[in-house]
Amino acid sequence: MSSDELELYDSDIGEEIEEAEKIEFLNREDVELEMKTLISDVESIVEVNAGMCRNLLHKFKWNKEALLNKMYESGDTQQFLIDSQVMAKCDDKVKEAKEGDCDICCSFGVLIGLDCNHMACKECWKMYLKEKIVDNGICEIECMVPECNLLMEESKIANYTTNSFILAKYRYQSINGYVAASSRLKWCPGIDCGRIVKIPDAETRLIVCECETRFCFNCCQEFHDPIDCRLMKKWLIKCSDDSETSNWLNTNTKDCPKCSVPIEKNGGCNHMRCTNNKCKHAFCWMCMKAWEHHKENGYKCNIFDESKEKSRSETRALLERWLFYYNRYMNHLQSLQLEEKLKVKVSAKEEELQKNSTMTWVDVQFLSKSVSALSECRRTLMYTYAFAFYLKKNNNSEIFESNQRDLEMATENISGYLERELETKDLKTLRQKVQDLSRYVDQRRKALLNHCEEGVENDFWDFSE
């Protein structure tokens, strides 16, 4: 490998490492440690126990500054704590368990309760906690008396139920509440991953987790540049719902004028009979009137009904436009899936080159990098067609289409070369050609994405809804 090639390779690796270092992948224990640190900070200021501080922070979406500002604004810390449901209003708080009749199940036994003096037996508390935590997915649990909204502290929950499953569920929901409240934390959507991603700033969007799941930090779907999350959601809904099936039916079928069952014309004769066995209505495909109408009033199918035909033509045009973009979107998705075989082929070629030549592991990485570049381009091209579907025509959309066309051509060139030329014996030519194609396709991809980003920054994109 030449010095220039090594420099290019090292710079690419350096950028990837630098970007990866900015993103942290945490487990639940890491996040719990963050939560405990925050609880401890608030505890030292507000001077109430950790359980109350946890409930306070949860109520204020784990925003310490918002919590403290609200407390100082109130001017009365005790009243603030009562209003925030973490402190009981009564002065005579529960000190210890006592015996008596449970107000819930009416059985006699040891009664326990919160500082609000609402007591119940331990079995009733267990059932109540199971309902709230397991059945309803709640970690902010109020007293079981409907009129009382005092929040249970974590220590009370742990004392009132020893069920490990319920406590694990409570722990998960508490962590999940912390993650959901943070603008810098997200669960990785990878199957059985369980990692929590922490980003350095709100600008970070592409996440490649340690489990190799690629996703958009904002919406947790597969990363979808250049289209934004809002339009991507609309596109996925449009691709998955029955609206396009309805459009096809409207374009290619007509409803029976009597029972409204959709009927497809499968012959040349315009004398139609409804396929519904309970209907069997005979009508004219051209004018949709009963076939008997022709006998009684004469043949009038030659009279043009402009309103109906205009509506049908517009529907057909909309369907054809959607299919144009959808088919290209799916074509690149299919190519991306089929090119998984190319990864296996390239991996085998790399092993062969290391075994049968003087090339080292670093020397053969140009092949893996080229396949990675190809995959990136396929993904980008997929989403450019979703982007283009909503994009209104103007001068900038023409530049976008030109960049899209250049990227598509470059992508097909490198894809075709890798499919056809891997078995060549001229290793020098193979390496030079693959590196040139990889470099060019990456340049075209960056040019397209930079133009899309420029459009967002300067607000010159105009999208249809």
Task: Single out the catalytic residue among 193, 239, 269, 301.
Answer: 269
Q: Which residues of 132-147 are buried (b: 16+ CB within 10 A; e: fewer)?
A: bbeeeeebebbbbbee
Beta bridge pairs of residue 98: 111
Give the other-Cβ count within 10 Å of 8's Cβ. Answer: 17
| Pairing relationship of beta strands 214-216 and 253-255 according to DSSP bridges | unpaired
DSSP letters spanning 329-389? HHHHHHHHHHTHHHHHHHHHHHHHHHHHSS--TTTTHHHHHHHHHHHHHHHHHHHHHHHHH
Token pair of 376, please?
Answer: 């990136």
Distance CA 243, CA 318 (A): 12
269 counts as catalytic: yes
Phi, psi (degrees; rounded to nearest 5) at 69: -60, -45
Nearest to 223 by CA among 197, 205, 202: 205
Give me the active site residues, please.
Answer: 269
